[in-house]
Amino acid sequence: MATGSNIRTYFNGTWHAGDVPIMRAADHGSWLGSTVFDGARRAYGLTPDLDAHCARVNRSAEALMITPTVTPEDMVAIIHDGLTAYPADRAVYIRPMYWALDGDTGAIVPKAGATGFAICLEEIPLAPPEAATTLTTTRFHRPTLDVAVVNAKAGCLYPNNARMLAEARAKGFANALVADAMGNVAESASSNVFIVRDGEVLTPIANGTFLAGITRARHMANLAADGTQVREAVLSFDDVRQADEVFLSGNMSKVTPVTAFDDRQYQVGPMTRRVREMYWDWAASAR
């Protein structure tokens, strides 16, 4: 089922209207889960960091032993061509993806050079600035590189995220704050996390258990340019409870304020608002 509406699909070298079939039952990606993707955004007529997202999907493919077949530069050009079919004021989610077509003799290892590629465009409105979320803990942890391909944005990682979200929603919360293997804060079930305490902005140190996101890096660079250095640190759940502000960072909504972590309540604070303002100011300046 599609997440958005007004879908266009790039497959086999051309754009198609609608959510067209792209994968066969015997494709390696169908039955062995060798799929990677990335997510970018077109909003307010802007496509911030599109080149970085296209470069990352190729790195994700390589991490899953899938051969990338489209350069980031060509991918950007194809996407801009596809976006011409949408009115300039429409918010569009941009999803390039790869999957392995065949395996080696034993079927499990993806066969070099046998790669499927598609791009999906979907109209998905950007969440309004006042849209916030709530967090709780989960018994599920982020994996480590020795047991999962955490250095890729891979479809096979998302069932674990789904378990986290389902558990959080069963407890009456929208999202989960997730621990790494050592029990320290890693990220939410869907996005990177920042906290603000006594005017200082902190985020979990990128320790290889989660993707340190492109939007996360952009917020850190924008804050530094504005005179506020973000400190990467080992953070406990108590650190989050003691914070003055908490917000999530991800491509889908860019900045999502957090108003509760279990029974701890937060206001949507000035730093969270400033980060959102700086992001779109930067995106407009980098047009």
Tens digits of per-residue pLDDT, 241-272? 999 999 999 999 999 999 999 999 999 999 99
Say whether both 137 and 74 belong to one domain.
no
Say whether both 107 and 235 belong to one domain.
no
pLDDT for position 130: 84
Strands 133-137 and 5-11: unpaired
Checking if the pLDDT of 2 tops 90, the result is no
Say whether both 106 and 179 belong to one domain.
no
Q: What is the mean pLDDT of residues 133-157?
A: 96
d(CA 95, CA 52): 13
Asked which of 93, 123, 153 is the last residue of a domain, the reply is 123
Asked which of 123, 152, 179 is the last residue of a domain, the reply is 123
Checking if the pLDDT of 152 tops 60, the result is yes
The alpha helices in the chain, defined as continuous H runs, are 28-32, 50-63, 72-83, 158-170, 214-225, 237-241, 270-285
Q: Quick one: DSSP state of residue 6?
A: E
Q: Vertex 39, ends 33 and 43: CA angle to 5°?
A: 160
The alpha helices in 9-143, defined as continuous H runs, are 28-32, 50-63, 72-83
Q: What is the mean pLDDT of residues 144-159?
A: 96
Residue 128, domain member (yes or no): no
Domain that holds residue 198: 133-285
Q: What is the mean pLDDT of residues 61-75?
A: 98
Whether the Cβ atoms of residue 261 and residue 135 lie closer than 8 Å to each other: yes
Residue 275, domain member (yes or no): yes
Q: What is the mean pLDDT of residues 25-48?
A: 96
Cα 91 from chain centre = 16
- Which stretch of 3-7, 12-16, 25-29, 49-53 has the lowest confidence by average pLDDT? 3-7
Whether the Cβ atoms of residue 101 and residue 116 lie closer than 8 Å to each other: yes
pLDDT for position 1: 52
pLDDT for position 240: 98
Asked which of 70, 92, 123 is the last residue of a domain, the reply is 123
pLDDT for position 4: 87
* Percent of the chain topping pLDDT 90: 95
Say whether both 151 and 281 belong to one domain.
yes
Say whether both 280 and 143 belong to one domain.
yes
Own/partner pairs, 219-225, CB within 8 angstroms, 24+ separation: 219/194, 219/249, 219/255, 219/275, 219/278, 219/279, 222/275, 222/278, 222/279, 222/282, 223/275, 223/278
Q: H or E segment at 92?
A: strand 92-100
Domains identified in the chain, total number: 2
* pTM summary value: 0.95
